[in-house]
A and B are shown apart, each in its own frame.
Chain A
Amino acid sequence: MTRYDCLQALSKLYEYLDGELPPDDTEAVRHHMEVCQGCYPFLQFCSSFQDALHRAAHGQTDAPPALRSRIADLLQTEGAPPAH
């Protein structure tokens, strides 16, 4: 199994949290974070940060209903079969 030191684990931390690492590297970061008392708090810190961003994403602005209707009308006009 791949083993990471602190520098390697921290440099891959966001890729780990974003689910962008291959399985071997994911496991290496996870293992390092489990056993390293120095790095684990930073994982918690970054997780709290990203949790807050993901939560905020749900409070984002939606498209105005009038725009939605306008696009529906536009597409209907575009998609209408050509007149014969």
Chain B
Amino acid sequence: MDRNESFQSEALPHLDAVYRFALRLSGSAADAEDLVQETFLRAFRAWDQYTPGTRAKSWLFTICRNVFLRQRKRERRREETVRDAAAEVDTKGLQTGEIPVFTTAYQYDPEGQFFAAIVDGGILAAIERLPDDFRDTVILSDLEGLAYAEIAELLDIPVGTVKSRLFRGRRLLQQVLYEYATDTGYVHTNPQ
């Protein structure tokens, strides 16, 4: 198999995943397209450095993130507002106990069936609202299926940090989804 063929069979199947990753990083479809184009161009040029059969997806994500971070140095993003809003949700109750959402939900829906009732769009929108660090780890783990070690390498953080970000990000997401479920009537919290 030549260089072109191996790139076609190992890298290109991840185009959708890289696009989604780029979309989340950049926050705009147009920027994401440029980011993906640059990512695949760089990946193709560096394809000789890739070890065939290893996880091409996390390798492509790493390139994509590096391209994004270089661009980001030039253009400051408007992330503080979102981060502050989410942190406020976090401090409202999430830092007081290990499993506070579960403790609350347990009275009304102990098995968390409300999660299944929330539409995909609602879940994805809630993920987008997480602070960047938590959002990235939750997406990479729960949506894209990367292993802890792959996420650690990609984000250049220790595996222990991946675990703690996942723990806090999931807990925050559970809180947001629970509030969404109670607001929309998926969970009935008022006694009849």
Q: Which A residues lie at the B interface, using CB under 8 A? A: 10, 14-15, 18, 20, 41-42, 44-64, 67-68, 70-71, 74-75, 78-79
Q: Which B residues lie within 8 Å of A79 (CB)?
A: 3-4, 7, 44
10 A/B residue pairs, CB under 8 Å, sorted by A: A15-B148, A42-B99, A44-B110, A48-B115, A49-B170, A53-B143, A57-B142, A60-B143, A67-B15, A68-B15
CA distance A54 to B150 in the complex (A): 18
Q: For B143, what are the chain A residues with a Cβ–Cβ distance below 8 Å?
A: 53-54, 56-57, 60
Contact B167 A45 (CB under 8 A): no
A53, A70, A75 pick with most chain B CB within 10 angstroms: A53
Least distance between A36 CB and chain B CB atoms (Å): 14
* A15 adjacent to B163 (CB under 8 Å): yes
Establish whether residues A18 and B141, one from each chain, have CB atoms under 8 Å apart when the complex forms: yes
Whether B1 sits at the interface, judged by CB under 8 Å, is: no
Contact of A74 with B15 at beta-carbon distance under 8 Å, contacts A20-B148, A53-B123 already known: no
User: Within 8 Å CB of A55, what residues of B?
Assistant: 116, 120
With A45-B105, A70-B37, A78-B45: A61-B19 Cβ-Cβ less than 8 Å: yes
B16 touches A63 (CB 8 A): yes
A14–B171 CA distance with the chains assembled, in angstroms: 11
Chain B residues near A60 (CB-CB < 8 A)? 16, 20, 124, 143
Q: A63 near B124 (CB under 8 angstroms)?
A: no
A20 to chain B, nearest CB (A): 5
Task: Indicate the member of A45, A61, A62 with the most B CB atoms within 10 Å.
Answer: A45
Closest B residue to A71 by beta carbon equals: B40
